[in-house]
Amino acid sequence: MTVFKNFNMYKFLFFLLVICLFGCNSKQTIKTKYFEGNALGTTYHIKFFSEEEVNWEKGLDSIYEVVNKSMSTYLPNSDISKINKGDTTIVVDNMFKEVFLLSKEINKSTSGYFDPTVGNLVNAYGFGAEELNYLSDKELDSLFVLVGIDKMELSEDNRLKKENINSYIEFNAVAKGYTIDRLAIFLENNNVDNYLIELGGELRVKGINKEKKQAWRVGLDNPYQTELKREITAILELKNEALATSGNYRKFRQDSITGQRFVHTINPLTGKAEKSNILSASVLATTCAEADAYATAFMAMGLEKSKLVIENLTGIDAYLIYTENDSTKVYSTAKFKKQLVKD
């Protein structure tokens, strides 16, 4: 009888242990995951919440590797570098195809102001990675005739066909945003519902910041900040959306007569470096690729043309910091303004 009682007691204790192990595991606190590093020539920071046991770092790194192999103009053996050197045998992958078709779409909706074939001119005028070359008008004209994404098409077997083999294409104004979108898909496919992904200043979020139990909050840079000190001009709440900011305000010029500040940017329609009164363009969109591309386009378009495009777009909101005479002003869509944090 004593043995039987002891057996039941041990059985009961075992049962409690099983409940504890499985019950506690099912109510396990969701862990904060944080990754940072260098990718695509810039830095990234990713924060999310999950209890999944996944090789997160390997999964994230694999996305950077695929994007680089497909679209990095800094890697001589990438697909896009080979295409720019005249290799017509390259069959592009789905990532390249998606970015190319999106670029075509945004090129059309911005009346040609977003154009990923303008890179040679950007460098020639000294606004890119290279120093100013002081090319003659004739030399600049010879580069301009190569500009135009409408002069390129993808064949049925996914080969890029160019009217002129010397035309140059780069996705620097959309690739960061697109990479963020691919990272977001990876997280969501692994049951992550709350995350913030930042790559080179571009962002995409979903859900909330579970540590602070509030919406994700990010800062918008002050256009007049210095290289040594970052200053925030506004704070924005994000909810299941992407944010990209474009601005070459650190390279602004000042008119010696009027005192007005402006930036130079390449107009893809003329091939000329023209004044733009927009110092920075922050864009909200569903995807970061769209936000990235439109922010770049608005910088080239200037305020009035940008406002016309924004008013005719669905799902695109903007916060444009611009100059008028000797003062700085802000244009903001209603949705963007509503998400600005007041306190």
pLDDT tens string 286-319: 999 999 999 999 999 999 999 999 999 999 999 9
**Residue 33 region by backbone torsions, left for phi larger than 0, else alpha for psi between -120 and 50, else beta:** beta
Distance CA 330, CA 316 (A): 17
Which region among 104-118, 160-174, 195-209, 236-250 has the lowest average model confidence (pLDDT)?
A: 236-250
Q: Report the greatest alpha carbon distance in the chain.
A: 106
Tens digit of each residue's pLDDT (9 = 90 or more) over 83-120? 999 999 999 999 999 999 999 999 999 999 999 999 78
Bridge partners of 35?
46
Rounded to an integer, the average pLDDT of 236-251 is: 84
Bridge partners of 261?
254
Distance CA 41, CA 122 (A): 18
Residue 182 pLDDT greater than 70, yes or no: yes
Rounded to an integer, the average pLDDT of 112-131 is: 76
Task: Provide the pLDDT for residue 135.
Answer: 65
Q: Would you give the DSSP letter of residue 192?
A: -
Structure tokens at 252: 């602004």
Distance CA 113, CA 134 (A): 24
Cα-atom radius of gyration of the chain, to the nearest Å? 25
Establish if 121 belongs to a structural domain: yes
CATH classification at residue 143: 1.10.3980.10
Long-range contacts of 225-234 (CB under 8 A, 24+ apart): 233/321, 234/319, 234/340, 234/341
Which region among 134-138, 148-152, 161-165, 217-221 has the lowest average model confidence (pLDDT)?
A: 134-138
Q: Are 321 and 259 in contact (CB under 8 A)?
A: no
Task: Provide the pLDDT for residue 233.
Answer: 80
Alpha helices in the chain (DSSP H): 2-26, 56-71, 79-84, 94-109, 119-124, 137-144, 175-189, 288-301, 303-311, 334-338
Averaged confidence pLDDT in the chain: 85
Q: Which residues are annotated as a binding site for Mg(2+)?
A: 173, 292, 296
Q: Which helix (H) or strand (E) holds 323?
A: strand 317-324
Which region among 45-59, 131-145, 203-217 has the lowest average model confidence (pLDDT)?
A: 131-145
How far is residue 21 from each of residues 9, 16, 126, 217, 326, measured CA to CA in Å? Answer: 18, 9, 63, 37, 68
Does this model's pTM top 0.95? My answer is: no
Q: Which residues are annotated as a binding site?
A: 173, 292, 296
Establish if 100 belongs to a structural domain: yes
Establish if 325 belongs to a structural domain: no
Establish if 305 belongs to a structural domain: no
Residue 15 pLDDT greater than 50, yes or no: no
Rounded to an integer, the average pLDDT of 261-280 is: 78
Q: Which of 176, 178, 232 is CA-nearest to residue 201?
A: 176
Res. 254 pLDDT band, cuts 50 70 90: low
Q: Which residue has the higher pLDDT, 139 or 200?
A: 200
Q: Which DSSP string do the residues of 119-171 spell out, in sequence order?
A: HHHHHHTT-SSSPP----HHHHHHHHTT--GGGEEE-TTS-EEESSTT-----
Q: Euclidean distance between the first and final Cα of the chain, in Å?
A: 72
Establish if 106 belongs to a structural domain: yes
Q: What amino acid occupies position 256?
A: S
Q: What amino acid occupies position 88?
A: T
Distance CA 311, CA 327 (A): 25
Residue 17 pLDDT greater than 80, yes or no: no
Distance CA 102, CA 153 (A): 13
Residue ranges making up the domain that contains 149:
80-162
Establish if 289 belongs to a structural domain: no
Q: Which residue has the higher pLDDT, 166 or 183?
A: 183
- Total number of domains constituting the chain: 1
Establish if 116 belongs to a structural domain: yes
Q: Which residue has the higher pLDDT, 135 or 6?
A: 135
Residue 69 pLDDT greater than 70, yes or no: yes
Establish if 157 belongs to a structural domain: yes
Q: Are 70 and 219 in contact (CB under 8 A)?
A: no
